[in-house]
Chains A and B, each alone.
Chain A
Amino acid sequence: MNRVERFFAPELPLARVAWLRVFVYAFVWLDVLWIVTDPIPHGDVPPSLYRGLEVRTLLHLPAPSHDYVRVLLAVVLVSSAIAVTGRLPRLAGWVCAVGMLDWVSNAFAYSKVDHDHFALVVALFVLPTVGRARLSDVDVQSQAAGWAIRMVQISAVSIYFLSASAKMRFGGWGWANGATLIWALTRRPNGIGPWVGSHPALTHALQWVVLVAEFTSPILLWLKGRALYAALLFWAGFHLSTYVMLKIHFLPLVVCLLSFLPLERLPHPATLRRAVTARPRGASAAPSSVR
């Protein structure tokens, strides 16, 4: 394997994909039933207010209607319920991926586009490519698994890095010294938000922290061990604080950050059995994003 291949498609434990599937497909239920719930009411919106998206035109997806969105919801719920068990990983996985593409693009087809779903959409499309993966496949080092995990990691990092790029494109270099956070806190006050919003110097400092963190986020792809965990903890704290102050959580991205963790070490009958027999752990012992 050359260096490029080792970076983008390393050999990683198949069990990590199995665990990531559990989290991602379970999250799909949370997403369609609690977070992105717009598609059901959108089924009642007259088509004049439907604006569409290029991806919907390419895939010939129709303007949502009352019955269509309910059938789609059922398809997404059933396919993800099957996929979460690890059965039919390709069939259930692809159906869920296309269904979610339809569902989320419906939500964004009325002139309000959010950017929190990019990594999740990528995850839904790459996870089926790995094929069968069991939680007990802790000692199976798979390059297909490594590529899928890496794609999810790269997509998550892209969201952060490109958020900073977009701030420079749309907001200009003065963004961090501006009043964007005050604007957000004024429109969506929550918790300690109004107090923070009444301290302009504090909001500027927070904006600088966010901008620098977003620009430097690609280092997540190289960090290992404690440094990696510390960086992930920082981002978890960031998402928690935007939730506390603005009720904005970015959970679809947070679930994709799990791909950086050695999920294969989570307790499972197969791994517990091994702990009991106390045999030395394999090469997966070093905590790292790519091991």
Chain B
Amino acid sequence: MRGTSRPLGPYAVLWRLAVTAAVVTTVCLGTWVGDDDWWPFAPMSQYAFSVRNDGVINSLTMDALTVDGEVVRVPLSKEMIGIERAEIEGQAPRIIAHPELLQDIAVLHARRLPHQPAYVVIYLRNTSTQIGTGATTIYTLATWQVRDPLQPKPSGLPGGAR
């Protein structure tokens, strides 16, 4: 046979097999017992939940009353306001418990979209759509009167650990 062969020494093989075992074990445990905090070994859980065939589909939205007196949809995307709807959905329980976090949405809006009319009141809302009938119901989950709407300051609430 042409060509050269480059085998590894016993220790080089050993640490590699150990790394393989560690990575495979951790990623399996991540999905079987872990949670999102384990990333990059977090559960492979996108679309893993069940939805009943006669169930409802919840979809969060955020609306805001601007200084111009108009109610507008808050553009929850990384391109626009800088945070995505899915990220707000993940933090919805926190926001409902501490509506003050919506102050930081006003801050983000002022930083990223300064040319738009400032937000005075921000509403976190949920739209439930009934599978089958398509009937929708809208609930307001949290409301926040923005402090100093033209130059909002961050809430200062702690982030960090989940």
Q: Which residues of A contact B (CB under 8 A)?
A: 1, 4-5, 8-9, 11, 14, 37-38, 41-42, 44-55, 57, 63, 101, 104-105, 108, 110-118, 121-122, 129, 138-144, 147, 150-151, 154-155, 158-159, 162-163, 165-167, 169-172, 174-175, 177-184, 186-187, 200, 279, 282-283
Contact = CB atoms under 8 A, between A and B. Distances in A.
Contacts of A104: 40
Interface in B24-49: 24, 27-28, 30-32, 36-49
Contacts, number: 228
Contacts of B104: 45-46, 48-49
Q: How extensive is the interface on chain B, given as a class?
A: 35 or more
Contacts of A282: 1-3
Nearest to A11: B5
A249 to B, nearest CB: 12
Contacts of B27: 118, 155, 158, 162
Contacts of B7: 1, 11, 143
A63 B91 CA distance: 17
A81 B132 CA distance: 51
A44 B111 CA distance: 7
Q: Is the interface of B mostly helix, strand, loop or mixed?
A: loop
A154 B42 contact: no
A23 B65 CA distance: 48
29 contacts: A37-B79, A45-B82, A45-B108, A46-B159, A47-B160, A49-B91, A63-B159, A110-B87, A110-B91, A113-B36, A115-B44, A122-B40, A139-B4, A141-B6, A143-B13, A144-B8, A151-B23, A155-B27, A158-B27, A159-B44, A165-B32, A170-B49, A170-B50, A171-B50, A175-B48, A175-B50, A179-B131, A181-B47, A200-B53
Contact of B52 (A37, A151, A159, A179): A179
A48 B159 contact: yes
Contact of A184 (B47, B90, B129): B47
Interface string B140-153: 00000000000000
A129 B32 CA distance: 29
A49 B159 contact: yes
Cβ-closest 6 pairs across A and B? A111-B90, A139-B3, A41-B82, A171-B50, A50-B159, A46-B104
